[in-house]
């Protein structure tokens, strides 16, 4: 049987099945040249990424300006800074007195102390939330 020039495949094959099989690579892709249209897809993706990054930057800038003018944010950051500063000061003074000055400080196991810090921080957060509502 002979095939027509429009359908050069074996008898009984259709152009749709040929398109499906020709889309599958017959071997490993060549490392020397990318597939057709690959570089244009990369360029389009890079441009889309750049546009989205610029939009995110503008959104972050607007949010930063909005938050910097909000007095509640400034006050919360100020309180959080003070609390962390106080915690670091107390821990540092404890170690200084124990190690450097060789004072007999009570031995406190950190495994027993960390829940106290969680309770204190939770209490501070609850109190700050109650102050904002009043």
pLDDT by 10s per residue, the chain, length 134: 555 555 555 555 455 444 444 445 555 555 566 677 888 899 999 999 999 999 999 999 998 888 778 877 777 777 778 888 888 898 899 889 988 998 988 887 878 888 888 888 888 888 877 776 66
> Tell me, what's the pLDDT at 47?
95
8 Å CB contact between 110 and 61 = no
Q: What is the pTM of this model?
A: 0.38
């Amino acid at each position: 049987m002979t095939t027509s020039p429009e359908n050069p495949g074996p008898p009984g094959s259709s152009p749709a099945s040929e398109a499906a099989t020709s889309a599958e690579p017959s071997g490993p892709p060549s490392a020397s040249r990318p597939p057709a249209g690959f570089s244009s897809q990369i360029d389009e993706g890079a441009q889309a990424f750049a546009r989205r990054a610029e939009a995110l930057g503008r959104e972050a800038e607007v949010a930063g300006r909005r938050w910097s003018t909000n007095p509640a944010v400034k006050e919360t950051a100020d309180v959080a800074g003070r609390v962390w500063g106080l915690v670091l000061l107390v821990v540092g003074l404890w170690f200084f007195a124990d190690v450097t000055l060789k004072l007999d400080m009570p031995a406190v196991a950190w495994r027993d102390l960390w829940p106290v810090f969680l309770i204190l921080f939770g209490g501070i957060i609850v109190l700050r939330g109650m102050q904002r509502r009043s």
